[in-house]
């Protein structure tokens, strides 16, 4: 490159004297044209001499360098596989994250709200229920009967032979404490609400809609109802406090 620039400088230096000599030999406008043509022709020849070694030198340098350092310079990957794999992997990770978030949102939306969960269970103080009377409360939109049974009602329920019933169940299967019966106040015939301490069985339940009679243990004894009154899930958390739900 330095050699080529040196030759270029010398060619420019030769152009100026040639132009002056041509002007002296051919004065006037015609002489000027002749002088310019001669100077340009000489300059073109000089540039051709400069360009030839420059191209040859540059080309040979590049080829020699690549040949000598072929083991040190790795060829590029025209397909850019590494970049493609990185982008695809990142996109899949992002899509998987959004998919997981969408599923979690969907599952969370199907869960019961806080107000519904609050109604799913309730605590009841049964100390104020007098013997022979009944407390009616609402649980999950349904009435619940809590009956404080008398000694005679307990004896009548326990003496009944389950094998003689339409829906055989002993009294011990239906109560956790003999003194208290807890059932859903929904007739198993068509879903009506029976009346407490009514019917043909003392201390039992009577549904006036279609004439179903239940005994003091909530077992069907007469009428169209096919099953006993349903028992809600409950437990005694204290001697006089029950948890329903």
pLDDT tens digits for 38-55? 555 655 565 555 555 544
pLDDT at 18: 58
pLDDT at 87: 83
pLDDT at 118: 62
pLDDT at 136: 94
Which pLDDT tens digits describe the chain residue by residue (245 residues)?
555 556 655 655 565 565 556 555 555 545 555 655 655 565 556 555 555 554 444 444 455 555 555 554 455 556 677 778 888 888 888 888 888 888 888 887 777 666 666 667 889 999 999 999 999 999 888 999 999 999 999 999 999 999 999 999 999 999 999 999 999 999 999 999 999 999 999 999 999 999 999 999 999 999 999 999 999 999 999 989 999 98
Sign of CA dihedral 138, 210, 164, 160: positive
Annotated catalytic residue, options 148, 189, 210, 213: 210
pLDDT at 36: 56
Q: Whose CA is closest to 141, among 222, 232, 70?
A: 232
pLDDT at 105: 85
Q: Residue 208 and residue 50: Cα distance in Å, rounded?
A: 122
Buried/exposed 1-17: b ≥16 CB within 10 Å, e otherwise = eeebeebbeebeeeeee
Q: Residue 242 and residue 163: Cα distance in Å, rounded?
A: 30
Q: Do residues 95 and 103 make contact, with C-beta atoms less than 8 angstroms apart?
A: no
pLDDT at 73: 46
Is the full-model pTM beyond 0.75? no
- Is 69 labeled as catalytic in the residue annotation? no
pLDDT at 121: 83
Q: Calculate the average pLDDT of the chain.
A: 79
């Amino acid at each position: 490159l330095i050699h080529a620039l040196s030759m270029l400088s010398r060619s420019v230096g030769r152009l100026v004297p040639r132009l002056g000599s041509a002007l002296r030999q051919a004065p006037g406008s015609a002489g000027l044209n002749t002088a310019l043509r001669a100077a340009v022709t000489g300059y073109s020849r000089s540039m051709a001499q400069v360009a030839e070694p420059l191209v040859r030198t540059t080309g040979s340098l590049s080829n020699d360098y690549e040949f000598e350092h072929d083991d040190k310079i790795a060829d590029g990957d025209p397909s850019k596989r590494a970049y493609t794999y990185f982008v695809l992997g990142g996109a899949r990770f992002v899509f998987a994250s959004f998919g997981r978030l969408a599923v979690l949102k969907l599952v969370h939306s199907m869960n019961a709200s806080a107000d519904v969960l609050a109604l799913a269970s309730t605590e009841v103080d049964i100390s104020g229920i007098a013997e022979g009377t009944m407390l009616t409360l609402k649980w999950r939109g349904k009435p619940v009967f809590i009956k404080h049974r008398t000694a005679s009602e307990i004896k009548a329920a326990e003496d009944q032979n389950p094998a003689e019933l339409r829906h055989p169940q002993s009294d011990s299967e239906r109560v956790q404490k003999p003194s208290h019966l807890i059932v859903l106040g929904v007739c198993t015939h068509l879903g009506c609400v029976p009346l407490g301490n009514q019917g043909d069985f003392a201390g039992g339940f009577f549904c006036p809609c279609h004439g179903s009679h239940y005994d003091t243990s909530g077992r069907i004894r007469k009428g169209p109802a096919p099953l006993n009154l349903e028992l809600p899930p409950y437990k005694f958390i204290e001697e006089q406090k029950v948890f329903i739900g």
